[in-house]
A and B are shown apart, each in its own frame.
Chain A
Amino acid sequence: MSGPNTNYDPVEVSALDPANVDAAVQEALTAIAGAGSLDDLKAVRIAHQGEKSPLALANREIGALPPSAKAEAGKRVGQARGRVGQAIAARQAELEAERDERILVEERVDVTLPAVRRAAGARHPIELVSQRLADAFVGMGWEVAEGPELESEWLNFDALNLGPDHPARQMQDTFFLDPVDSGLVLRTQTSPVQIRTMLEKEPPIYVVAPGKVFRTDDLDATHTPVFHQIECLAIDKGLTMAHLRGALDAFVRIMFGEETRTRVRASYFPFTEPSMETDFVCFACHGTGHDESGAQCRSCGGSGWIELGGSGMVNRKVLRACGIDPDVYSGFAFGLGIERALMLRHGVQGMHEMVEGDIRFSQQFGMEV
């Protein structure tokens, strides 16, 4: 590097000549634009921005200029170096973006390749439907009650006003246990849970009881010896059949949607008085009673309606057997078969699929119904 040369005419220093500076810049810009890769650009940077680049050399000459010329020359070279620097940075960014882009393209895989290495499990839809109904009622302030599946006869029958001679007791084909006089049975309904609840809790009582029940039916398309019911029981002051209808309507809405048409009719159950049966419009024939060919509808047997389940106001005798004063409290109860609901809501064709345990059945429902 030269020291200041006071006798030196700056004009005579060719490296600082504006034309030369411009030329150096132009040359640099051309090289930058021509750099096709980050490696090229690295070479360009060394050539045009490095210590031995023309602009670096020119910059070094500034120190030798007389003070009067330094400012202008410094400005000129500084601007020139700035332009080159910016251009390199811009090109660098461009090339890096291109490189990143290219890597992403190169790393492309076929994401449609099967990706699940562990087979998924599933819940059984019977359980999911029970949960759904229970949750909806819990949301309305009810609670979930449970009881044993092997139950005392008294709780399963007698306390529900199903005395030994009651015709209705014959309608229920019960699994009796050995010895037959043990007073124990496999429960034929979830109703003994009602009795247990009433014996254990003071009113007001608002419970739903989902569970497994047993009857001596052979397995066929519409029967299974082990099936599931969900039952609701409410005991409070001033409950009426209107409340029963309200609860039933809620049930139907949760299960089958707002649009479901229902009808109610008088019926008979020993544990309720008055008793009621709820039907809803056949999902298959929409109430017409016949299919498109004019033949009788197989789903509803031609009536256009399908039974949802029985219900009624809890019989005073049942309340009394549980120690609840029927002159103070009234209540209602209703129940329905979960399998039936599943058939209606999800188009399950028959009982076999629900009880056989074929993994394909549960797996099609996922984890929420």
Chain B
Amino acid sequence: MRMPLRWLAEYTDLAPGTSGADVAAALVSVGIEEEDLHGGDITGPLVVGRVLELEEQVQKNGKPIRYCVVDVGENGQMLTEGKHQEIVCGAQNFEVGDLVVVVLPGATLPGGFQISARKTYGRVSNGMICAEDEIGLGHDHDGIIVLTRLLGEEASADLKPGDDAIALLGLGEETIEANVTPDRGYCFSVRGLAREYWHSQGSPEGGFRDPALVETPASNDLGYTVRVEDDSPIDGVAGCDRYVARIIRGIDPTRPSPAWMQQRLTQMGMRPISLAVDVTNYVMLAVGQPLHAFDVDKLSGSIVVRRARPGETLTTLDDVERTLSPEDLLITDGGEHLLAIAGVMGGASSEVDASTTSVLVEAAHFDSTSIARTSRRHKLVTEASKRFERGVDPALAATAAQLAVDLLVEHGGGTVDDGVTDLDRTTEPPAYLLDVTEPSRIVGLDYSRERVVKILRDLGCTVDESGQGTDETHVLVTPPSWRPDLVNDSPGPDYAEEVARIDGYNNIPSVTPTPVEGQGLTHGQKTRRVVADALAGAGFTEVLTYPFVAESLADELMLPADDDRRHAVRVANPLSEERPLLRTSVIASLVDALRRNVSRGHKDVALFELGLVFRPGGPLGRAPIPSVLQRPDADTLEQLYAAVPDQPRRAGLLATGLVERAGWWGPGRAADWSDAVAAVRTVATALAVDVVVANDPGHAPWHPGRCARLTLPDGTLVGHAGELHPKVLAALDLPPRTVAAEFDVDVLVSASAEPVQARPFSTFPPALTDIALLVRSDVAAADVEAALCAGAGEALESVVLFDVYEGERVEAGHRSLAYRLTFRAADRTLTTEEVNGFRDAAVAAAATATGAVQR
């Protein structure tokens, strides 16, 4: 919502010299946030120009550029060189003869942008033809301003090249743009913002001049017939509880709206259109009541407000044919001919136009929920819908209609009908018995009863200190008609906010809360940090990827048809249609980051990510949406939780290129399957969790011969690690031999939950013995090692595989595994005979289990 300072000064006192920044700061102090400041920061020359010639040339980059000659009156090059202004312009939306806004060298535009003659696209441009956003008039940058379009033909008729455009467009005056929160619909008006500014100045007596304080005639039987026939109110709330209609006849349709009004509308970011439309907009901006002007001559019956019927359509003012929903509230002519979507947008057929002489001004009050739903349904946000959605002051309708009538009569020369229609079913908001100590209790700052009452009265509340229920600490408060946000079943906190806001939020003290006790981080939270830190310590860099993946990814990852990872959640409104699914594994999205790094020239990349994956296991269920009036019952809660699909926390890692660098010390070492397995083992070791590794020949997306399956000793799956399948790498455009691991962090969290029990260790000397075992090549080293451990007995301290040999010195299809066994007894030094016995037992066990033969 915008507000020019001079308009603000009409409704409240503005000390001389008050700047836009001062007003913005004052408004912030009462909770109205500044969005932007416009105007006041342009220094001329900024003038009206008429395009005399234009020559368009398409540039090498394909962009058409116009070399223009513009008449800017007795300014610029006319003064210095005796010729018209030569300007280079990139916009296309104007023709020879158009009136435009020209900024000349020497001027400064908003943001301190200084204009000088400069060479561009091969020629000197002596200034610039301006777009709206360049001079702070709006946010439009689709083309330059053509004044006949911006101000209308009539208003532009008297303009001459060289006229000062700063004054013309009201750019010399500062305009504040405030960000209005959804609870403060009344601030969508200069009236509302002026009231807030007045509060920021301490609400001085007589300092606010309410523009809505005008006499209005009473409703009578002579007015235009209006019927409200809402047969399906939403949640029992009538769609329309007030409808004021006034008629002015004999308006001169050629009369433009006055220049001051056009200027204000322009400052507010709206386009002047015609007197009738400008007046309705102006009054809306002034007091916050959206108005609609119908051409009386296009109406044939009474106005009927009703809900749409299934299948009805209406072409709105924006020339879009809209299929209506039975929830949409309509304004109709006689119930049949559709005039407007109530409170949102008028229809094209009843629009006032250049021949309109009789106008019906509608000032109505519509239900905010109804308007909000309609606006959302039709994706149609208008100045009217914005206000109705946030709540319009229901007491304003007659006043706003009167303000519009007065302006139309004054500037259009018509006469107002004696008939006054005011269908008023609004009710006074109920009084609330407020505990005056409640604001202090909620805010944590003592406000006296007097202070609370004064603030509430300044806000427009009626405060009854003697009615039923009142005592030393209780008063009856009735909020003003423009504050529907203060009407709810427990407005205490709302009043507390008002008191704190007007008193000043910055007066609230700062008191550090003191929780009684905390348990610190949970085991799971600590474990996750260990996992991430261990991976980072092992050379992997953490990244955070978007979980959105393509439908084709499951195939690219070669997931089998029945793989659970094919059950992905689908986003109904994805940012990109190409990536509508949520990842079911971390690797699925981590590959994107790897590819990006590689494309940026990083050859050696090791990445990891720790995050949730989405595993619905099938189609999504339906989560209940219970009432919020109380805690859902246990069953409903259980359904609510159960409907949320499984989201295990997993870690994924990828590595390509060298894991050990080449350098002066020699060649580097490329990442291979073992690095992926080692990374998972490193994590498990950091958590003191034992993992068992087995060859897994059939787990996508890994290489069938280079994939490790990692489990807990009890068989619980931890994850997989190894080299990715070459076809997967090719399909995903990843470097050959890229390795990967993915594991379930939650499993590791559970596996490490119990405190580690210390194992005693012996201080007697160890006995070492080496063995070489010949095994078939398809025997897993892990199986051999397990057999050795099982056979060696309790004195075995460690088994280290220190050599693997496959080649001509061993039988074909076999390999030799060389182990160092370390034995140590808890209570004595072992004898050679004992050690040899253990060793032979170990070898025998390996022989039995794996067919190993000692070499």
Q: Is A204 an interface residue (CB 8 A)?
A: yes
Q: Are B501 and A155 in contact (CB under 8 A)?
A: no
User: Quick check: B582 and A117 within 8 Å, CB to CB?
Assistant: no
The docked-state distance in angstroms from the alpha carbon of A138 to that of B541 is 27
Least Cβ–Cβ distance between A368 and chain B, in angstroms: 10
Interface pick from A14-22, A44-52, A71-79, A313-321: A313-321
List B contacts of A176 (CB < 8 A).
571-573
Q: Which chain A residues (281-319) contact chain B, with CB distance < 8 Å? A: 289-290, 293-296, 301-303, 313, 315-317
Contact B661 A234 (CB under 8 A): no
Contact A268:B542 (CB < 8 A) given known A119-B606, A143-B518, A150-B569? no
Q: B642's closest neighbor in chain A, by CB?
A: A152
A218 within 8 A of B: yes
Q: Is A240 touching B629 in the complex (CB atoms < 8 A)? A: no
On whether the beta carbons of A245 and B510 are closer than 8 Å, the reply is: yes
Min Cβ gap A342→B in Å is 12
Which residues 517-544 of B have a CB within 8 angstroms of A? 517-522, 525, 529, 532-533, 535-544
Residues B541 and A182 in contact, CB atoms below 8 Å apart? no
Interface core residue of B443, B497, B582, B596 (most chain A CB under 10 Å): B497
Question: Interface readout for A184-220 with B: 1 if CB under 8 Å, 0 if not?
Answer: 1010000000000001000010100000100010100
Show 5 residue pairs from A and B whose CB-CB distance is below 8 angstroms, ordered by the A residue. A119-B539, A121-B539, A184-B643, A294-B112, A362-B542
Tell me if A320 and B521 are in contact (CB < 8 A). no
Which residues from A are CB-within-8-Å of B21?
A: 289
Cβ distance A362 to chain B, nearest Cβ, rounded Å: 5
Q: Is A229 an interface residue (CB 8 A)?
A: no
- The answer to whether A357 and B631 touch (CB under 8 A), given A242-B509, A274-B443, is no
- B514 is contacted by which of A141, A161, A216, A322 (Cβ under 8 Å)? A141
A277 to chain B: closest residue by CB: B33
Do the beta carbons of B513 and A239 come within 8 Å of each other?
A: yes
| Nearest chain B CB to A205 CB, angstrom units | 9
Q: How far is the CA of A143 from the CA of B592 in the complex (A)?
A: 34
Bound CA span A216–B509, Å: 38
For window 120-149 of chain A, which residues contact chain B by CB distance below 8 Å?
Answer: 120-124, 126-127, 131, 134, 138, 140-144, 146, 148-149
Q: Choose, from A24-32, A34-42, A85-93, A246-254, the stretch at the interface.
A: A246-254
A265 touches B505 (CB 8 A): yes
CB distance from B680 to the nearest CB of A (A): 15
Top 6 A-B pairs, shortest CB-CB distance: A266-B31, A323-B631, A240-B444, A357-B593, A242-B444, A274-B497
Instruction: Say whether B369 faces chain A, with CB atoms less than 8 Å apart.
Output: yes
The reply to whether B112 and A295 contact each other, CB–CB distance below 8 Å, is: yes
Which of B508, B542, B543, B624 contacts A264, CB < 8 Å?
A: B508
Is A153 a contact partner of B496 (Cβ separation < 8 A)?
A: no
**B140 neighbours in A (Cβ, 8 Å):** none
C-alpha spacing A210/B571, complex, angstroms: 23
Q: Which residue of the partner chain, among B376, B515, B573, contacts A216 with CB atoms under 8 Å?
A: B573
A359 touches B628 (CB 8 A): no
State whether A117 touches B665 (Cβ < 8 A). Answer: yes
Question: Could you tell me the distance in whole angstroms from the C-beta of A360 to the nearest C-beta in chain B?
Answer: 8
Q: Are A358 and B505 in contact (CB under 8 A)?
A: no
* A134 shortest CB reach to chain B, Å: 8
Measured CA separation A127–B544 after assembly (Å): 9
Besides A150-B644, A184-B645, A313-B493, 16 more A-B contacts (Cβ < 8 Å) are: A117-B663, A117-B668, A119-B606, A143-B520, A167-B182, A181-B622, A183-B643, A206-B518, A225-B575, A226-B544, A242-B511, A274-B493, A274-B496, A293-B112, A355-B546, A359-B607
Shortest distance in angstroms between A163's beta carbon and chain B's nearest beta carbon?
8
Q: Tell which of A148, A247, A363 touches B513, judged by Cβ atoms closer than 8 Å.
A: A247
With A and B bound together, what is the CA distance between A344 and B7 in angstroms?
A: 37
**Does chain B have a CB within 8 A of A102?**
no
Name, among A212, A266, A296, A301, the residue most crowded by chain B CB atoms within 10 Å (CB to CB).
A266
Contacts of A273 in B (CB 8 A): 493-494, 497
Report how far A264 CA is from B554 CA in the complex, Å. Answer: 49
Q: Which residues of B contact A357 (CB under 8 A)?
A: 543-545, 592-593, 596-597, 607
**Contact flags (1/0) for B648-662 with A, using CB distance below 8 Å?**
000000000001110
**Interchain CA distance A142-B513 in the complex, whole Å:** 10
- Shortest CB-to-CB span from B719 to chain A, Å, is 19
Is residue B139 within 8 Å, beta carbon to beta carbon, of the partner chain? no
Pick from B500, B514, B540, B640: contact of A241, CB below 8 A. Answer: B500
| Interface of A toward B, CB cutoff 8 Å | 113-114, 116-124, 126-127, 131, 134, 138, 140-144, 146, 148-155, 158-159, 161, 163, 165-168, 170-171, 175-184, 186, 199, 204, 206, 212, 216, 218, 225-226, 234, 236, 239-243, 245-250, 263-268, 273-277, 289-290, 293-296, 301-303, 313, 315-317, 320-323, 326, 330, 354-359, 362-363, 367
Q: Please report B residues at the A interface, Cβ cutoff 8 Å.
A: 21, 24, 28-31, 33-34, 36-37, 110-113, 181-184, 369, 372-373, 376, 389-390, 441-445, 490, 493-494, 496-497, 500-501, 505-506, 508-522, 525, 529, 532-533, 535-547, 569-575, 582, 592-593, 596-597, 600, 602, 604-608, 611-612, 614, 619-626, 628-632, 637, 640, 643-645, 647, 659-661, 663-665, 668
When distances are taken between beta carbons in the complex, the residues of chain B under 8 Å from A356 are 593, 596
Nearest residue (CB) in A for B608 is A121
**What residues on B are CB-neighbors of A354 within 8 Å?**
544
**Contacting A138 at CB < 8 Å: which of B521, B540, B604?**
B521
What's the nearest-Cβ distance from chain B to residue A116, in Å? 7
Which residues of the partner chain B approach A179 to less than 8 Å between Cβ atoms?
572, 619-620
A240 touches B664 (CB 8 A): no
Q: Is the CB of A268 within 8 A of B539?
A: no
Cβ contact of B512, chosen from A246, A263, A290, A355, cutoff 8 A: A246
B514 touches A122 (CB 8 A): no
In the bound complex, do residue A216 and residue B575 qualify as a contact, i.e. CB atoms below 8 Å apart? yes
Residue numbers in A under 8 Å from B112 (CB-CB)? 290, 293-296
Given A153, A293, A358, A362, which contacts B625 in the complex, CB threshold below 8 Å? A153
Least Cβ–Cβ distance between B233 and chain A, in angstroms: 14
**B637 proximity list for chain A (CB < 8 A):** 199
Bound Cα distance A266, B196 (Å): 12
Q: How far, in angstroms, from A367 to B518 measured CA to CA in the complex?
A: 26
Residue of A nearest to B183 (CB): A268
Residues of B within 8 A of A234 (CB): 513, 515
Interchain nearest-CB distance for A190 vs B (Å): 13
Bound together, the chains give a CA A103 to CA B285 distance in angstroms of 91
- A181 — nearest CB in chain B belongs to which residue? B622
Question: Which of chain A's residues have a CB closer than 8 A to the CB of B600?
Answer: 358
Q: Distance (Å) between the CB of B848 and the closest chain A CB?
A: 41
Does B540 contact A121, Cβ atoms closer than 8 Å?
yes
Instruction: Point out the residue from B442, B490, B611, B647 that lies within 8 Å of A150, measured CB to CB.
Output: B647
Set B493, B632, B668: member contacting A316, Cβ < 8 A: B493
Distance in angstroms between the alpha carbons of A277 and B181 in the assembled complex? 12
Give every chain B residue within 8 A of A121 (Cβ-Cβ).
535-542, 606, 608
Known: A158-B628, A316-B493. A177 touches B596 (CB 8 A): no
Nearest to A119 among chain B residues (CB) is B539
Q: Given A144-B521, A150-B582, A245–B664 Cβ distance below 8 Å?
A: no
Residues of the A chain whose Cβ atoms lie less than 8 Å from the Cβ of B604: 119
A211 to B: closest C-beta gap in Å: 9
A268, B521: Cβ atoms under 8 Å?
no
Once A249-B510, A274-B442 are accepted as A-B contacts, the answer to whether A122 and B541 lie under 8 Å apart by CB is yes
Expressed in whole angstroms, the Cα–Cα distance for A134 and B526 within the complex equals 12
Q: Which residues of B contact A114 (CB under 8 A)?
A: 663-664
Q: How far is the CB of A188 from chain B (nearest CB, A)?
A: 13
* Residues of chain B with a CB closer than 8 A to A167's CB: 182, 372, 389-390
**Considering the chains assembled together, what is the distance between the CA atoms of A293 and B113 in angstroms?**
10
Across the interface, do B647 and A149 meet the contact criterion of CB distance under 8 Å? yes
Are A241 and B444 in contact (CB-based, < 8 A)?
Answer: yes
Verify B623–A175 contact, CB threshold 8 A. Answer: no
Across the interface, name the chain A residue whose C-beta is closest to B376. A170
**Docked-complex contact A124 and B542, CB < 8 angstroms:** yes
Collect the chain B residues with CB atoms within 8 Å of residue A218's CB.
Answer: 575
**Complex Cα gap A125–B516 (Å):** 31
For the complex, give the distance between the alpha carbons of A256 and B500 in Å: 27
